[in-house]
Amino acid sequence: MSMMLYLNGNIYTMDAAQPRVEAMAIDSASGTILAVGDNDEVRRMGGRYAELVDLHAKTVLPGFIDAHIHLADAAHREYHIDARDALSEDAVAALVRQRAMHTPKGQWIVGGQWDKNLWPGQQFPSKASLDAAAPEHPVALWSKDGHLLWVNSLALQSANINVETPEPANGAILRDGSGEPTGILAEEEATSLVYRVISKPDPVLTRQLVQRILAELQRFGITTIHDIEGESTFQLFEQLRDEGELGVRVNMILPRQMLPKLRAVGLRAGFGDDLLRLGGIKIFADGTLGSQTAAMLESFEGKPGNFGILTLSEQEMKETVSAAAEAGLSIAIHAIGDRAAHVALDSIEQAQHLLANAGITAKTLPNLRYRLEHVQLITSDDLERMRRLGVIASIQPYHAVADRDIAERYWGKRHRHAYAYRSMLNLGIPLALGSDAPVEIFEPLRILYAATMRNDTATPQRPPWLPDQALPVAQALWGYTMGAAYAGAEEHRKGSLTVGKLGDAVVLREDILSVPQEKMPENGVQATILGGKVVYGELDL
């Protein structure tokens, strides 16, 4: 049996039974861990075909698991119009004007990442500036959070949106005094009107871009992602897996609209293999803070009467959650405002009752997980309810530091209870960490810095934001490994370096648990190991 022996390491296993070891042996054929322990114990495992790797006392952790990412979307946003550094409406229009000069007339100009909260006045932009920049191209630009679509007149025409278009029930078409659409569409029921008429991206290009970003994930020590995207991305992952080109494991979370199809086939969470597995479905309960579409129990600060948007009716939410749970599909509910979290938990509570009454137990559906995505604002009663119902908090700590100013602006004094990760931890709510890329960065060491320092590496001079809510390093690491594995119902295969689990690991240049915390982001990834094989970086053979 051929195997890889990793020796002389400082290995944090994330397994309480054996938290720190020197060495591990990984079976090359199955990619699973055969032994962990001290050098001698592990060396004894090796037969004559063993390959030895000297870790030179470097720190090893289980590979990072990003529990919330939109990978193909992230791959595309780098390629199309990228307005994240444009600090005004005019600056974005200038990017569009440039792109229009090199784009055949009539062809869509797409992209996004614009953030009006960074612009003077923080007003929503309008179609007029895009019309002036690109009069002969339909233009559609996503906001940074992906919840607003800014379009020009040609795009509105292609989608047949005009003064007579009825207002969607769970979305919004922003209009001027005469009812004319201004060029801003909010939330899926409105944005999809345009999104569905945009020509689909070229699959060859998509594949190239996705492969490029998969390599980046490896460079950052990420070995598994929970990818929240649709069927075309799932199909691409299947293709890459079949060709041996999928260098990161994927737990797929599909849009709720696919639930009928998944149920018809009888696909459950856990279906698939170690490289590509079905997780469940994603449901949007509301919009976002940045777009002021998060569903709120009280109005946004300074915007009386604006309670945000519940993007799914409460009734439909309940039916969807119950149907998915009965089908054995995990349920990931996007909930940013406190009302969204409340409604989501009502649905989960009802689904759990239904399952219990039907005699369905964890034994019948072992891979069913309930998770709230983001949980940026939640009442203390609902936090307690999350704990009681066993709901996972899927959190993206970089949001906390990136959103600090808008949280104070739009939530007023409520911001003090926002992004309350430490409170969740103290209550015993399972945490799963992730990035939400492309909304924010996906580099785990910078995200861990945000989680543990409540600060952004880009602005270290600012005081930490709500430092009481900082996570201890060890618990933040747990959330990026075991916690995320649990959220994917893969804790028996991943998340810790334990005999029988997959040999997925990251080798760091410094000891993350003993370097001063402010040095954490500079502590680069030396190598990434997937199923026992070094897929990024170099180690001494």
Report helix, strand or coil for 275.
Answer: coil
Give the separation between CA 203 and CA 168, rounded to whole angstroms.
31
Q: Which residue is nearest to Zn ion (CB)?
A: 436
CB of 133 to Zn ion, least distance (A): 28
CB of 520 to Zn ion, least distance (A): 24
Nearer of residues 436 and 443 to Zn ion, judged by Cβ: 436
Nearer of residues 288 and 526 to Zn ion, judged by Cβ: 288
Question: Pairing mode, if any, of strands 3-7 and 148-151?
Answer: unpaired
Nearer of residues 189 and 436 to Zn ion, judged by Cβ: 436
Report helix, strand or coil for 37.
Answer: strand
Q: Is the peptide bond before 304 cis (omega within 30 degrees of 0)?
A: no
CB of 331 to Zn ion, least distance (A): 15
Nearer of residues 84 and 303 to Zn ion, judged by Cβ: 84
Nearer of residues 96 and 433 to Zn ion, judged by Cβ: 433
Closest by alpha carbon to 249, among 231, 233, 226?
226
CB of 66 to Zn ion, least distance (A): 11
Nearer of residues 338 and 436 to Zn ion, judged by Cβ: 436
Report helix, strand or coil for 540.
Answer: strand
Binding site for Zn ion (CB under 5 A): 436
Nearer of residues 230 and 412 to Zn ion, judged by Cβ: 230
Q: Are residues 137 and 105 in contact, defined by beta-carbon separation less than 8 angstroms?
A: yes
What is the per-residue DSSP string for 311-338?
SS-HHHHHHHHHHHHHTT-EEEEEE-SH
What is the per-residue DSSP string for 381-436?
HHHHHHHHHT-EEEE-HHHHHHSHHHHHHHHGGGGGGSS-HHHHHHHT--EEE---
Tokens of 526: 């030396």
**Based on the number of CB atoms within 10 Å of its own CB, is 509 exposed (0-12), middle (13-18) or buried (19 or more)?**
middle
Q: Which helix (H) or strand (E) holds 238?
A: helix 231-242
Nearer of residues 406 and 508 to Zn ion, judged by Cβ: 406
Nearer of residues 74 and 329 to Zn ion, judged by Cβ: 74
CB of 284 to Zn ion, least distance (A): 9
Sign, CA dihedral 268-278-319-432, equals positive
Alpha-helix runs per DSSP H in 412-517 = 421-427, 444-453, 473-480, 482-487
CB of 24 to Zn ion, least distance (A): 33
Nearer of residues 61 and 437 to Zn ion, judged by Cβ: 437
Q: Are residues 240 and 83 in contact, defined by beta-carbon separation less than 8 angstroms?
A: no
Nearer of residues 187 and 436 to Zn ion, judged by Cβ: 436
CB of 74 to Zn ion, least distance (A): 10
CB of 436 to Zn ion, least distance (A): 4
CB of 282 to Zn ion, least distance (A): 8
CB of 20 to Zn ion, least distance (A): 34
For the chain, how big is the Rg over CA atoms in Å?
23
Tokens of 258: 């696919």
Q: Describe the crossing of helices 71-79 and 231-242 by its angle, rounded to 10 degrees.
A: 100
Alpha-carbon 431 to chain mean position: 13
Tokens of 484: 């995320």
Q: Which residue has the tokens 């962990």?
A: 36
Phi, psi at residue 257, to the nearest 5°? Answer: -60, -20
CB of 228 to Zn ion, least distance (A): 6
Nearer of residues 396 and 528 to Zn ion, judged by Cβ: 396
Report helix, strand or coil for 516.
Answer: coil
CB of 368 to Zn ion, least distance (A): 21
3-state helix, strand, coil in the chain (%, to 5): 35, 25, 40
